[in-house]
Amino acid sequence: MGKKITRWAFFILIFTLPFWNGFRMDIDKEQLFLFGFQLSYEAGYLFFVFLFLFMMAFLALSMIVYRAFCQYACPHNTFSMLLNKIETKLGDNGKVVSFLLALAVSVFMAYSTVSYFYNPLTIWESLAHFKMDKYFFLVTSTAVLYTALSYKARNSFCKVCPYGLAQSISRVEDKTKWLTHPGVWITWGTTTVLVLILLVGWF
């Protein structure tokens, strides 16, 4: 029960951080926000130091508790477990319910993800008025990706998840094995492309 509460607490935290300026950037206005405070670009290194330390903390914890992030904080894992439970309980009808839920939640998660890079209010205005601008494109394309991952590939994505693989390296005797896995390159490649697309507004 404690693990379940922790997973959903992290899920809510991760997807609400940008809405209260807990951790986000605004590429359009060249602003950075951390714990509700606006940082100047001169102090922007604090933003990235926090991100780096956060990731390293989970990697370090994984050396003690295997795949700690996956067990306690991964939003994909948390949501996938819910969808699997729904399909198990409802049978054939569960497929329809899980798809509709995956679609709805994916739109919200996409909105939240893009809000890490742009003003959430600006994005909301774009979505509400169906403006065919970069915000609308970013949210819809990310929502399609999230829907595919959560509905169709939810039980296989973990095998090529960049963060999951990073945690698994400590358990692999031959450290070069993961480098030859095509899924690793596909996942890291698409992740890089997604980040580049999100940063397109920088210029």
User: If the chain, 203 residues long, is cut into consecutive pieces of 10 residues, what is the mean pLDDT of each piece?
Assistant: 82 90 84 80 65 67 69 82 85 83 91 92 92 90 87 70 63 55 57 59 45
- Cβ atoms of 98 and 86 closer than 8 Å: yes
Using left for φ > 0, alpha for ψ between -120 and 50, and beta otherwise, residue 67 falls in: left
pLDDT value of residue 43: 64
Q: Which two tokens stand for residue 176?
A: 């070069």
| Neighbouring C-beta atoms of residue 189, cutoff 10 Å | 10
pLDDT value of residue 139: 93
pLDDT value of residue 70: 76
List the helix and strand counts (H, then E) for the chain. Answer: 9, 3
Using left for φ > 0, alpha for ψ between -120 and 50, and beta otherwise, residue 130 falls in: left
Distance CA 189, CA 106 (A): 21
Using alpha carbons, select from 13, 14, 12 the residue that is nearest to residue 113: 14
Q: In 61-100, which positions are buried (b, 16+ CB within 10 angstroms) versus exposed (e)?
A: bbeeeebbbbebbbbbbbbbebbeebbeeeeeebeeebbe
